[in-house]
Amino acid sequence: MKNLLTGGIIFNNIKQAQTEFANLGILTRTNFPSNEFSLYCGGGLLELVVCPTSVNQLIQIVNIIKKNSLDYLVIGACGNTLIKDTGFSGVTIMTQYLKGISHRNNTLYAGAGDKLNILSKKAMSCGLSGFEPLTGIPASVGGACVMNAGAFGTEMSQLIKDITYIDFFDSRLKKTFAGNLPFKYRHTNGFFDDKIITSVSFKLTSDDTSKIKARCISALETRKLTQPSKPSLGCVFKKAKGISAGYYIEKAGLKGFRIGGAQISQMHANFIVNTGNGNASNYIRLVEISENQVLEKFNIKLEREIIVKG
């Protein structure tokens, strides 16, 4: 009875929040299939999605979520987040409309919802260097900062000047400089767990546009030759002992192993790809098998880079 009552309260709170969002003119969607935008092309329904178009709307959303005691999830490009097939019950905040790229001198500014690849192209057109190794990463600016995305020896933490965010605790807009952030390899030590990034500024260096373009093309070509093109969430696991997790997964005999429509990539074993009809459960099972086999054969506990919600 307690669980039924709790479920009823949560449902009523969701409906109340939905009404409040609509009254404020905030774009909402209900029972939104995550497989329609997930880069893996799989996953369950999102109960209530809100899409703020301004910082003020985002603050209003945060206040409504808190008032109704609802769970929430923040999604950018959904490039490393997987929604379980059972879906997510709560409010999903999509930052895709929090955009705005500009530059002044050697500083490049972007909204949390801007795509990293678009930002890289903008930097190139402005003769600003730094983003070349990150060209082609299918992530939003906000998500890339939270996970400290990186490639070919360059990480977001090396480029960030400052980050502006909403603090969920007091609903206030705040700014912090990169030096104050606990950047680690592919994470920020939970700093943004109760915060929502709204915008970021990057400190870059001037260079010849043709040279920047050549480095961007080189990064894209290397990515094309070494990473699968089928739908995926990118690297599943972080490096282990300085070595790609794909090495251990391949040595465990799992390269090409398949469950349903999900497959450990034959090109790079640290990628799980959707071969056409893969769901979240297929993906998660392959993650678990990889973890178990690598632990059993090499006594190495793989650490996930992807995030599973639901």
User: Does residue 181 lie in a domain region?
Assistant: yes
Q: Are residues 196 and 270 in the same domain?
A: no
Q: Do residues 135 and 117 lie in contact, with contact meaning Cβ atoms separated by under 8 Å? A: yes
Q: Which of 94, 118, 149 is the last residue of a domain?
A: 94
Task: Give the domain-ending residue among 94, 111, 126.
Answer: 94
Looking at the domain assignment, is residue 216 inside a domain?
no
Last residue of a domain, one of 94, 129, 144: 94
In a domain, 221, yes or no: no
- The reply to whether 37 and 10 lie within a common domain is yes
CB-based contact 199:111 (threshold 8 Å): yes
Using DSSP's 3-state secondary structure scheme, residue 184 falls into: strand
What local confidence, expressed as pLDDT, does residue 3 receive?
35
The domain tally of the chain equals 3
Query: What does the pLDDT read at residue 10?
Result: 61
Q: Which residues of 127-166 are buried (b: 16+ CB within 10 A; e: fewer)?
A: bbbbbbbbbbbbbbbbbbbbbbbbbeebbbbebbbbbbbb
CA 199 to chain centre: 15
Distance of CA 62 to the CA centre of its chain: 20
DSSP state of 186: T
**Whole-number Cα distances in Å, 171 to 52, 56, 193, 250:** 15, 10, 14, 46
Do 34 and 128 belong together in one domain? no
pLDDT of residue 21: 97
| pTM more than 0.85 | yes
The verdict on 243 and 194 lying in the same domain is no
CATH number, domain of 135, equals 3.30.465.10
Task: Give the CATH number, domain containing residue 300.
Answer: 3.90.78.10
Query: Within this chain, do residues 79 and 149 fall inside the same structural domain, yes or no?
Result: no
How does pLDDT run along the chain (310 residues), one tens digit per residue?
A: 223 334 455 678 999 999 999 999 999 999 999 999 999 999 999 999 999 999 999 999 999 999 999 999 999 999 999 999 999 999 999 999 999 999 999 999 999 999 999 999 999 999 999 999 999 999 999 999 999 999 999 999 999 999 999 999 999 999 999 999 999 999 999 999 999 999 999 999 999 999 999 999 999 999 999 999 999 999 999 999 999 999 999 999 999 999 999 999 999 999 999 999 999 999 999 999 999 999 999 999 999 999 999 9
Name 181's Cβ contacts closer than 8 Å, sequence gap at least 6.
157, 160, 163, 188, 191
